[in-house]
Homo-oligomer: A and B are copies of this chain.
Amino acid sequence: MAAKSKILVLGGTGYIGKFIVKASTEAEHPTFVLIRENTVSHPEKSKLIETFKASGVTLLYGDLHDHESLVKALKEVDVVISTLGGQQIDDQVKLIAAIKEAGNIKRFLPSEFGLDVDRHNAVEPVVSFLAKKVNIRRATEAEGIPYTYICSNAFAGYFLPTLGQQNVTAPPRDKVTILGDGNVEAVFVSEEDVGTYTIKAVDDPRTLNKTLYLRPPANVLTFNQLVSLWENKIKNTLEKVYIPEDQLLKIIQESPFPANLMLALGYSMLVKGDCTNYEIEASFGVEGSELYPEVNYTTVDDYLNAFI
């Protein structure tokens, strides 16, 4: 078996990045994280960086906006995973230029980790947000860089502890707000599992120039099923407040940024069913739990048990 490829993560201290880094070291890939000089002194991030060091991560100092440092970092590795945040999607054109110059990158995973940006029924401002990711896909393809796109759907760790109710830190016990009629299927995947599946994909020829979708069967649920699952666990019935589609569209239209972005993501995922409303065809994609049946993923059912 070939040596494990060397992986560089950009955005490694971010929300999903830290799970990718963890999965990479656990799978014994030589793992590199690009960080800026000033990140080390950031109170929350410095703890994370200590954890990285303890698990054998090599820190590379550099910056997306410093072409030379970027090319130098790329030359150390085989695979690049970008988990740059929502404000830095466009900046990945600089990463693409550096990958092109370095010339040695075997696989590039741009920052995705959400819905399929080429297949959705979103409204603004989500359309513009997803369009930025589309541009990065097209730029990657135009440069002939080998890629994998990860469509991991909804983050369980963000979504499940609150059932999508904002400003709370545990699922509701009295009342729940449901976007639309609650009858379309969404997919909830734990951040640890997003990391595990992503790292499995980087050296896999079956994911080369394809999209890896995460739709583990036990985690494909309608919102009503999710609420019902929770109600069974707490042995209580919640009051349900439904926000119909037309009302939600009006609220989105009347909310400022970034509240409108958050609500419009809910619209796409929970009202239009953009996690699940298309078939994954072999020509463009593969499904993670089919490809890697050995992964013992965390089910939504198990996930919710932590909050009873």
Contacts and interface: CB of A to CB of B under 8 A. Distances in A.
A85 B128 contact: yes
Most B CB contacts (10 A, CB to CB) among A87, A124, A155 go to: A87
Interface string A107-130: 000000000000000001100110
Contacts of A293: none
B15 A254 contact: yes
B165 A44 contact: no
Contacts of A246: 43
Contact of A255 (B125, B158, B255, B261): B158
Contacts of A44: 249-250, 253
Contacts of A155: 256
B249 A43 contact: yes
B254 A262 contact: no
Interface in A239-263: 246, 249-250, 253-262
Nearest to A265: B258
A265 B43 CA distance: 19
B257 A259 contact: no
Contact of A85 (B85, B124, B158, B265): B124
A77 B16 CA distance: 47
Interface in A21-59: 43-45
Nearest to A15: B256
Given A249-B43, A250-B44, A259 B256 contact: no
A166 interface: yes
Interface residues of A, number: 35
A228 interface: no
Interface string A129-146: 100100000000000000
A232 interface: no
Contact of A16 (B43, B256, B258): B256
Contacts of A129: 87
A68 to B, nearest CB: 22
A305 interface: no
A270 to B, nearest CB: 13
11 contacts: A15-B253, A15-B254, A15-B255, A43-B246, A44-B249, A44-B250, A45-B253, A85-B124, A86-B125, A165-B167, A258-B261
Q: Which 8 A-B pairs have the closest CB atoms?
A: A86-B257, A166-B166, A87-B128, A44-B253, A258-B258, A15-B256, A258-B261, A87-B125
